[in-house]
Chain A
Amino acid sequence: MDLLMESLIAVLILIGAAFTCLGSIGLVRLRDFYERLHTPTKATTLGVGSLLIASAIFFSWTMPGISLHEVLVAVFLFITAPVSAHLMAKAALHLRERGETGLPPETTLQRHDGSGRLSEDKDGNQDGNAADSG
């Protein structure tokens, strides 16, 4: 096997598996349901996405012809992941309104009026980005 190609596929597999695993670690470690909802939708999507890219490269390269049907699964996952996350969040919010789940009180609804503040929010936006990446 061509060493470069093999290394590329290997790196993609490692990245994909690592993100898949991280998604599940988040599922176990995070403290409440809404926090847990963040990890599978993000980490797992990218994880499986990069595994599928690895698979597409592998089959296009070892087999005759180009294999792109893995893209189908990836596209499907990217479309459905946010939808199912949204529905689960809605279900959880609904249950909380009915008082059936005991969620920590720290997740309170914050009312924020953002109307007409677009221009002056721009520098605040920059600060927010800096704080997030730091």
Chain B
Amino acid sequence: MKPLLPHPILSLMLLGLWLLLVNSIAPGQILLGALLAWLIPLYTVRFWTAQVRIRRPLSLLRLAGTVLVDIVVANLAVARLIVGPMARIQPAFIRMPLRLQGNVGVSLLANIVTLTPGTLSASLSPDRSELIIHALQGHDPGAIIADIRTRYEQPLLDALEQR
């Protein structure tokens, strides 16, 4: 017996997506969106293998805030590097051992790393134990790894629970 609403979060996101797409909150559109948000997860439930339970939504929200602020800071920092002398850029590849497990956690971390200051997730080792990061200013790999760990990996570890 399939549950009636297998992915409540996905359903909510689909409804929001639909309302944004039609750019209206007319009752008819809300109804149609709700119908789609109910039917699509019901019929695609077999595609969604990795289920993640969010243990602490607040921690995740705080992380989102941190990331948004960091994106703006990242842009200003990178903009300064671009217009400045090229000699200030000392790129390096860094291998960061991952403590996060699971698809959703690792992909979230990789995306956050790419969007934030001077770092870019370049590859994941085949056994998923290391994330290979490219840094624009990679003279101190330890600091970059510690920064990513305290700012992004720890909140993700706290907030997500792999089922």
Direct A–B contact in complex, judged by CB atoms less than 8 Å apart: yes
Residues of A within 8 A of B (CB): 19, 22, 25-26, 29-32, 34-35, 37-39, 41-43, 45-46, 65, 67-69, 71-72, 78-79, 81-83, 85-86, 89-90, 93, 106-115, 117-118, 121-122, 124-125, 127-129, 131-133
Contact (Cβ within 8 A) B146 A121: yes
8 Å CB contact of B91 from A35, A46, A86 = A35
Show 23 residue pairs from A and B whose CB-CB distance is below 8 angstroms, ordered by the A residue: A19-B79, A22-B82, A34-B120, A35-B91, A38-B134, A42-B71, A42-B75, A42-B115, A43-B82, A69-B22, A71-B20, A81-B114, A82-B112, A89-B120, A106-B91, A107-B93, A110-B93, A110-B141, A114-B142, A118-B146, A127-B140, A127-B143, A129-B143
Q: Is the interface of A mostly helix, strand, loop or mixed?
A: helix
User: 14 extra interchain contacts, Cβ-Cβ under 8 A, other than A82-B121, A117-B142?
Assistant: A31-B89, A35-B136, A46-B75, A69-B21, A78-B115, A86-B110, A86-B122, A107-B134, A110-B93, A110-B95, A121-B142, A124-B140, A124-B143, A132-B117
**B51 — which chain A residues lie within 8 A by C-beta?**
none
Contact (Cβ within 8 A) B78 A26: yes
With A111-B95, A125-B143 already in contact, the answer to whether A38 and B78 are too (CB < 8 A) is yes
Contact (Cβ within 8 A) B145 A42: no
**Number of interface residues, chain B, beta carbon within 8 A:** 50
Q: Mark B66-103, 1 if CB is under 8 A from A, else 0.
A: 00000110110111001100100101111111000000
Residues of B within 8 A of A (CB): 17, 20-24, 71-72, 74-75, 77-79, 82-83, 86, 89, 91-97, 110-112, 114-115, 117-118, 120-123, 132, 134, 136-138, 140-147, 149-150
